[in-house]
Chains A and B, each alone.
Chain A
Amino acid sequence: GEDVEQSLFLSVREGDSSVINCTYTDSSSTYLYWYKQEPGAGLQLLTYIFSNMDMKQDKRLTVLLNKKDKHLSLRIADTQTGDSAIYFCAEDKYSTLTFGKGTMLLVSP
Protein backbone atom coordinates (compact mmCIF):
# COMPACT_ATOMS: atom_id res chain seq x y z
CA GLY A 1 0.00 0.00 0.00
CA GLU A 2 0.90 3.66 -0.07
CA ASP A 3 3.38 4.93 2.46
CA VAL A 4 1.34 8.04 3.11
CA GLU A 5 -2.43 8.11 2.69
CA GLN A 6 -4.84 10.99 2.53
CA SER A 7 -8.47 11.43 1.68
CA LEU A 8 -8.72 12.90 -1.79
CA PHE A 9 -11.33 15.58 -1.36
CA LEU A 10 -12.84 17.86 1.28
CA SER A 11 -15.51 20.49 0.84
CA VAL A 12 -16.33 23.11 3.47
CA ARG A 13 -18.12 26.41 3.71
CA GLU A 14 -16.31 29.65 4.29
CA GLY A 15 -15.85 30.33 7.98
CA ASP A 16 -16.01 26.68 8.98
CA SER A 17 -13.06 24.67 10.20
CA SER A 18 -11.36 22.20 7.87
CA VAL A 19 -9.65 19.06 9.04
CA ILE A 20 -7.41 17.17 6.66
CA ASN A 21 -6.22 13.77 7.77
CA CYS A 22 -3.16 11.76 6.88
CA THR A 23 -1.74 8.40 7.87
CA TYR A 24 1.82 7.28 7.46
CA THR A 25 3.57 4.00 7.97
CA ASP A 26 7.14 4.67 9.06
CA SER A 27 7.42 5.24 12.78
CA SER A 28 11.02 6.34 12.36
CA SER A 29 10.03 9.47 10.45
CA THR A 30 11.49 12.45 12.25
CA TYR A 31 9.48 15.28 10.73
CA LEU A 32 6.04 15.44 9.20
CA TYR A 33 5.07 18.24 6.89
CA TRP A 34 2.05 19.91 5.40
CA TYR A 35 2.40 21.60 2.04
CA LYS A 36 -0.13 23.62 0.05
CA GLN A 37 -0.26 23.60 -3.72
CA GLU A 38 -2.36 26.04 -5.67
CA PRO A 39 -3.23 25.28 -9.31
CA GLY A 40 -0.18 25.33 -11.56
CA ALA A 41 2.18 26.30 -8.77
CA GLY A 42 4.88 24.72 -6.71
CA LEU A 43 4.55 23.62 -3.13
CA GLN A 44 4.33 26.05 -0.27
CA LEU A 45 5.45 24.85 3.12
CA LEU A 46 2.63 25.46 5.57
CA THR A 47 3.92 23.90 8.73
CA TYR A 48 5.74 20.92 10.10
CA ILE A 49 5.90 18.99 13.31
CA PHE A 50 8.71 17.08 14.94
CA SER A 51 7.87 13.50 15.78
CA ASN A 52 8.23 13.99 19.54
CA MET A 53 5.47 16.60 19.58
CA ASP A 54 1.74 16.00 19.85
CA MET A 55 0.49 19.33 18.67
CA LYS A 56 1.68 22.47 16.99
CA GLN A 57 -0.32 25.62 16.46
CA ASP A 58 0.52 28.40 14.06
CA LYS A 59 -2.11 31.12 13.61
CA ARG A 60 -5.10 29.43 11.93
CA LEU A 61 -3.29 26.12 11.56
CA THR A 62 -3.23 23.35 14.13
CA VAL A 63 -1.32 20.14 13.54
CA LEU A 64 -2.08 17.08 15.64
CA LEU A 65 0.16 14.05 15.67
CA ASN A 66 -0.80 10.66 17.06
CA LYS A 67 2.40 8.75 16.81
CA LYS A 68 0.91 5.54 18.17
CA ASP A 69 -1.63 5.43 15.34
CA LYS A 70 0.71 7.15 12.84
CA HIS A 71 -1.99 9.70 12.21
CA LEU A 72 -1.45 13.34 11.34
CA SER A 73 -4.08 16.01 10.89
CA LEU A 74 -4.18 19.61 9.80
CA ARG A 75 -6.95 21.83 11.09
CA ILE A 76 -7.57 25.16 9.39
CA ALA A 77 -9.72 27.47 11.47
CA ASP A 78 -12.04 30.01 9.85
CA THR A 79 -11.42 28.59 6.41
CA GLN A 80 -11.37 31.15 3.61
CA THR A 81 -11.91 30.79 -0.13
CA GLY A 82 -8.20 31.50 -0.58
CA ASP A 83 -7.49 28.29 1.28
CA SER A 84 -8.87 26.28 -1.64
CA ALA A 85 -5.94 24.21 -2.86
CA ILE A 86 -4.42 20.76 -2.67
CA TYR A 87 -2.80 19.90 0.63
CA PHE A 88 -0.04 17.34 0.83
CA CYS A 89 1.26 15.68 3.92
CA ALA A 90 4.76 14.26 3.75
CA GLU A 91 6.99 12.24 6.00
CA ASP A 92 10.70 12.82 6.21
CA LYS A 93 12.64 9.61 6.17
CA TYR A 94 16.02 8.63 4.85
CA SER A 95 16.66 12.32 4.07
CA THR A 96 13.86 12.50 1.51
CA LEU A 97 10.18 13.27 1.60
CA THR A 98 7.44 10.79 0.81
CA PHE A 99 4.19 12.45 -0.12
CA GLY A 100 0.60 11.46 0.09
CA LYS A 101 -1.56 11.93 -3.01
CA GLY A 102 -2.94 15.18 -1.71
CA THR A 103 -6.32 16.34 -0.45
CA MET A 104 -8.19 18.83 -2.57
CA LEU A 105 -9.87 21.38 -0.31
CA LEU A 106 -12.74 23.28 -1.83
CA VAL A 107 -14.09 26.23 0.12
CA SER A 108 -17.45 27.59 -0.95
CA PRO A 109 -18.75 31.05 -0.04
Chain B
Amino acid sequence: GAVVSQHPSRVICKSGTSVKIECRSLDFQATTMFWYRQFPKQSLMLMATSNEGSKATYEQGVEKDKFLINHASLTLSTLTVTSAHPEDSSFYICSARIGAVGNTIYFGEGSWLTVV
Protein backbone atom coordinates (compact mmCIF):
# COMPACT_ATOMS: atom_id res chain seq x y z
CA GLY B 1 0.00 0.00 0.00
CA ALA B 2 0.91 3.64 -0.30
CA VAL B 3 3.31 5.06 2.23
CA VAL B 4 2.88 8.65 1.11
CA SER B 5 -0.56 10.06 0.39
CA GLN B 6 -1.52 13.27 -1.39
CA HIS B 7 -4.82 15.09 -1.39
CA PRO B 8 -6.57 16.17 -3.48
CA SER B 9 -5.64 14.08 -6.49
CA ARG B 10 -7.31 16.58 -8.81
CA VAL B 11 -8.36 20.15 -8.21
CA ILE B 12 -9.70 22.89 -10.43
CA CYS B 13 -9.60 26.45 -9.20
CA LYS B 14 -10.32 29.88 -10.57
CA SER B 15 -7.54 32.21 -11.51
CA GLY B 16 -6.58 34.43 -8.58
CA THR B 17 -7.61 32.00 -5.87
CA SER B 18 -5.38 29.87 -3.67
CA VAL B 19 -5.31 26.10 -3.41
CA LYS B 20 -3.73 23.82 -0.84
CA ILE B 21 -2.30 20.38 -1.49
CA GLU B 22 -1.57 18.03 1.38
CA CYS B 23 1.13 15.41 1.61
CA ARG B 24 0.97 12.87 4.41
CA SER B 25 3.38 10.15 5.39
CA LEU B 26 1.50 7.05 6.47
CA ASP B 27 2.77 5.01 9.38
CA PHE B 28 6.11 6.78 9.55
CA GLN B 29 7.51 10.12 10.54
CA ALA B 30 9.04 12.17 7.79
CA THR B 31 11.34 14.90 8.98
CA THR B 32 11.93 15.88 5.38
CA MET B 33 9.49 15.98 2.51
CA PHE B 34 10.09 17.14 -1.02
CA TRP B 35 7.80 18.90 -3.46
CA TYR B 36 8.16 18.42 -7.19
CA ARG B 37 6.42 19.86 -10.20
CA GLN B 38 6.07 17.93 -13.42
CA PHE B 39 5.16 19.45 -16.75
CA PRO B 40 3.56 17.25 -19.40
CA LYS B 41 5.98 14.72 -20.84
CA GLN B 42 8.82 16.12 -18.80
CA SER B 43 10.81 15.10 -15.81
CA LEU B 44 10.26 16.17 -12.24
CA MET B 45 11.53 19.53 -11.12
CA LEU B 46 12.36 19.84 -7.45
CA MET B 47 10.61 22.89 -6.07
CA ALA B 48 11.52 22.80 -2.42
CA THR B 49 12.63 20.70 0.49
CA SER B 50 10.28 20.84 3.43
CA ASN B 51 11.71 20.37 6.91
CA GLU B 52 9.49 19.79 9.92
CA GLY B 53 9.42 22.76 12.20
CA SER B 54 11.48 25.06 10.01
CA LYS B 55 11.24 27.04 6.82
CA ALA B 56 11.33 25.23 3.54
CA THR B 57 14.38 25.42 1.32
CA TYR B 58 13.39 26.53 -2.16
CA GLU B 59 15.20 25.75 -5.37
CA GLN B 60 16.47 28.56 -7.51
CA GLY B 61 13.74 30.12 -9.58
CA VAL B 62 10.86 28.94 -7.41
CA GLU B 63 8.85 31.80 -5.92
CA LYS B 64 8.56 31.16 -2.20
CA ASP B 65 5.75 33.70 -1.82
CA LYS B 66 3.73 31.98 -4.48
CA PHE B 67 4.34 28.39 -3.42
CA LEU B 68 3.91 28.36 0.34
CA ILE B 69 5.13 25.24 2.06
CA ASN B 70 4.31 24.35 5.61
CA HIS B 71 5.59 21.28 7.45
CA ALA B 72 3.75 21.57 10.72
CA SER B 73 4.06 17.99 11.86
CA LEU B 74 6.17 14.93 11.21
CA THR B 75 3.48 13.42 9.03
CA LEU B 76 2.09 16.38 7.12
CA SER B 77 3.45 18.91 4.67
CA THR B 78 1.27 21.28 2.67
CA LEU B 79 1.87 23.20 -0.53
CA THR B 80 -0.33 26.25 -1.09
CA VAL B 81 -0.36 27.81 -4.52
CA THR B 82 -1.34 31.41 -3.90
CA SER B 83 -3.08 33.65 -6.42
CA ALA B 84 -3.03 30.85 -8.92
CA HIS B 85 -2.75 31.53 -12.63
CA PRO B 86 -3.27 29.22 -15.59
CA GLU B 87 0.49 28.79 -15.98
CA ASP B 88 0.54 27.20 -12.53
CA SER B 89 -1.51 24.34 -13.90
CA SER B 90 0.66 21.27 -13.49
CA PHE B 91 1.14 17.96 -11.77
CA TYR B 92 2.55 18.37 -8.27
CA ILE B 93 4.15 15.44 -6.49
CA CYS B 94 5.48 15.15 -2.98
CA SER B 95 7.89 12.61 -1.59
CA ALA B 96 9.26 11.63 1.78
CA ARG B 97 12.29 9.77 2.94
CA ILE B 98 11.86 6.99 5.46
CA GLY B 99 14.55 7.33 8.04
CA ALA B 100 17.99 8.72 7.53
CA VAL B 101 19.73 10.00 4.46
CA GLY B 102 20.31 7.17 2.05
CA ASN B 103 17.10 5.38 2.83
CA THR B 104 14.39 4.95 0.29
CA ILE B 105 12.33 7.88 -0.90
CA TYR B 106 8.67 7.25 -1.64
CA PHE B 107 6.37 9.40 -3.69
CA GLY B 108 2.77 10.39 -3.33
CA GLU B 109 0.22 9.79 -6.03
CA GLY B 110 0.46 13.34 -7.28
CA SER B 111 -2.05 16.16 -7.55
CA TRP B 112 -3.32 17.60 -10.81
CA LEU B 113 -3.94 21.32 -10.54
CA THR B 114 -5.90 23.07 -13.26
CA VAL B 115 -6.34 26.81 -13.01
CA VAL B 116 -9.11 28.22 -15.18
Binding site for B on A (CB under 8 A): 30-31, 33, 35, 40-45, 48, 88, 92, 95-102
| Interface size in chain B (residues, C-beta < 8 A) | 21
Are the CB atoms of A101 and B43 closer together than 8 Å? yes
Interface string of B66-100 (1 = CB under 8 A from A): 00000000000000000000000000010101000
Are the CB atoms of B112 and A40 closer together than 8 Å? yes
Chain B residues contacting A31 (CB-CB under 8 Å) are 102
Are the CB atoms of B49 and A42 closer together than 8 Å? no
Provide the bound-state CA to CA distance between A41 and B110, in Å. Answer: 6
Which parts of B43-66 form the interface with A (CB within 8 Å)?
A: 43-44, 46, 49
Total cross-chain contacts (CB, 8 A): 48
Chain B residues contacting A95 (CB-CB under 8 Å) are 32, 49, 97, 101
In the assembled complex, B6 has its CB within 8 A of some CB on chain A: yes
User: Could you show 16 A-B contacts with beta carbons less than 8 Å apart?
Assistant: A30-B102, A33-B105, A35-B107, A42-B107, A43-B95, A43-B110, A44-B107, A45-B105, A45-B106, A92-B102, A95-B32, A96-B49, A97-B95, A99-B44, A101-B43, A102-B42
Provide the bound-state CA to CA distance between A96 and B108, in Å. Answer: 15
